[in-house]
């Protein structure tokens, strides 16, 4: 496993923890979409559609 694989694995773990934490706290996830700040309900996101997966 090279460094880029380790980095991607770490990002995937952080993503899952973030989603779980936001669901636990019932707070929105804040992202930038098309240059605008957008709130997303964490219940609409699953850890299966991880943005870092290849």
d(CA 42, CA 36): 18
Q: What is the pLDDT of residue 34?
A: 92
Domain boundaries, the chain: 3-49
- Quick one: which of 4, 1, 40 has its CA closest to 22? 40
Q: 0.75 cut: is pTM over it?
A: no
Residue 54 confidence (pLDDT): 46
Query: What pLDDT does residue 48 have?
Result: 67
pLDDT score, position 21: 94
- For the chain, 54 residues long, give each residue's pLDDT as a single digit of tens: 799 999 989 988 998 999 999 999 999 999 898 999 999 998 888 766 555 444
The per-residue b/e assignment along 8-39, b for 16 or more CB within 10 angstroms, e otherwise, is eeeeeeebeeebeebeeeeeebeeeeeeeeee
């Amino acid at each position: 496993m090279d460094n880029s694989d380790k980095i991607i694995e770490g990002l995937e773990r952080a993503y899952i923890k973030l989603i779980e934490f936001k669901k636990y706290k019932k707070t929105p996830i804040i992202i930038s979409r098309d240059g605008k700040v957008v709130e997303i309900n964490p219940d609409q996101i699953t850890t299966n559609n991880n943005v870092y997966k290849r």
